[in-house]
Amino acid sequence: SAVISQKPSRDICQRGTSLTIQCQVDSQVTMMFWYRQQPGQSLTLIATANQGSEATYESGFVIDKFPISRPNLTFSTLTVSNMSPEDSSIYLCSVAWDRGIYEQYFGPGTRLTVT
Amino acid sequence: AQSVSQHNHHVILSEAASLELGCNYSYGGTVNLFWYVQYPGQHLQLLLKYFSGDPLVKGIKGFEAEFIKSKFSFNLRKPSVQWSDTAEYFCAVSNNAGNNRKLIWGLGTSLAVNP
């Protein structure tokens, strides 16, 4: 398994601003993912963060709105840009390996409220 | 497209009652199956997983799940629940194609156990 931390744990932001969320893992991992979990709903995958290259986005999510960086095998950031109240959600980072261990491990999440 | 359905959205039980949460998926190929749990105020944790072999898998805290391939089901069970099992339970599926490790999630089941 891995120990995953996220910063900030929560934030309240104004409409039109941007917030960058950090995800740090205590060991090297192959894959890092970013999810959104809206109140009372399930998890929705935003993108897969690829080390050294552009993230792979899921349908309905675009790089201009959710730019992602992954400079190394233990760290990634997700930026929520030009925020609106509809972006209020919990944002989760998860990690996985490409062999032997198939499950994903999750960080504690970042609770974002946009006013 | 792949999908996961969890039949029970809200379940209320008394302590010592038996639990069964339904999970069905739609995908014709080989799958990896997971149950995750999210206790109040905590992050998502892996409860149990199935990759291959014995279709009856045992997880933490006395939970088990049975994979029935013919029914595309992976139901979660516990013979006697405790108040501490109050949580949100998510079923998730990934296919075995390639190394993408992407998970498809059910909507979750909120379990409340009354003492």
Q: What is the pLDDT of residue A66?
A: 97
Could you say which of B43, B45, B108 has the minimum Cβ distance to residue A42?
Answer: B108
Chain A residues in contact with B45 (beta carbon < 8 A): 106
Q: How far is CA A92 from CA A99, A113, B71, in A?
A: 22, 14, 31
Query: Does position A100 have pLDDT exceeding 70, yes or no?
Result: no
Residue B59 is encoded by which pair of tokens?
């997880």
Pairing, β B56-58 against β B64-68: antiparallel
Q: What is the pLDDT of residue B96?
A: 66
A97 vs A81: CA distance, rounded Å: 29
Condensed to tens digits (0 to 9), the pLDDT of residues A41-99 reads: 889 999 999 888 889 999 999 999 999 999 999 999 999 999 999 999 999 999 988 76
Q: Is the CB of A98 less than 8 angstroms away from the CB of B34? A: no
Chain B residue nearest residue A95, CA to CA? B101
- Confidence class for position B100, pLDDT limits 50, 70, 90: low
Burial code (b: 16+ CB inside 10 Å, e: under 16) for A45-62 equals: bbbbbebeeebebeeebe
Condensed to tens digits (0 to 9), the pLDDT of residues A13-40 reads: 999 999 999 999 999 998 899 999 987 7
Test the B interface: residue of A104, A105, A111 with most B CBs within 10 Å? A104
Could you say which of A42, A99, A108 has the minimum Cβ distance to residue B105?
Answer: A42
C-beta of residue B87 within 8 angstroms of C-beta of residue B34: no
Condensed to tens digits (0 to 9), the pLDDT of residues B37-94 reads: 999 988 899 999 998 899 999 999 999 999 999 999 999 999 999 999 999 999 999 8
C-beta of residue A41 within 8 angstroms of C-beta of residue B107: yes
Q: Is the CB of B101 less than 8 angstroms away from the CB of A43? A: no
